[in-house]
């Protein structure tokens, strides 16, 4: 089983900060990956998260379920 956590919230509420804090505490024997569904400034979160040790895939350009369904599947498969 792959454990999945969905971090969601309003613009600027602290999602990236929370993920970065969790990454700092991640057990050494676990592999963590972050699938970023960023709306707007493409790539910013991905670069920051990758610099902090996570495997990152991005799904830019819109909602995972309606606009970016295929890129979402591709991102998951790449992980």
Ligand X SMILES: Nc1nc2c(ncn2[C@@H]2O[C@H](COP(=O)(O)OP(=O)(O)OP(=O)(O)O)[C@@H](O)[C@H]2O)c(=O)[nH]1
Tell me which residues touch Mg ion (CB under 5 A). Answer: 15-16, 45
Residue 56: strand pairing partners? 34
Give least dist CB 35 to ligand X, A: 14
CA torsion sign, 37 to 41 to 42 to 47? negative
CB nearer Mg ion, residue 45 or residue 58: 45
Give least dist CB 47 to ligand X, A: 13
Q: What values do phi and psi take at 20, rounded to 5? A: -65, -40
CB nearer ligand X, residue 20 or residue 33: 20
CB nearer Mg ion, residue 16 or residue 72: 16
| Binding residues for ligand X (CB under 6 A) | 9, 11-17
């Amino acid at each position: 089983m792959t454990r999945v956590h969905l971090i969601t919230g309003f613009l600027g509420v602290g999602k990236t900060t929370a993920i970065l804090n969790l990454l700092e505490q991640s057990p050494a024997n676990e592999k963590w990956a972050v699938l970023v569904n960023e709306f707007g400034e493409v790539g910013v979160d991905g670069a920051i998260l990758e610099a902090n040790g996570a495997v990152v895939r991005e799904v830019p350009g819109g909602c995972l379920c309606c606009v970016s369904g295929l890129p979402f599947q591709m991102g998951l498969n790449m992980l």
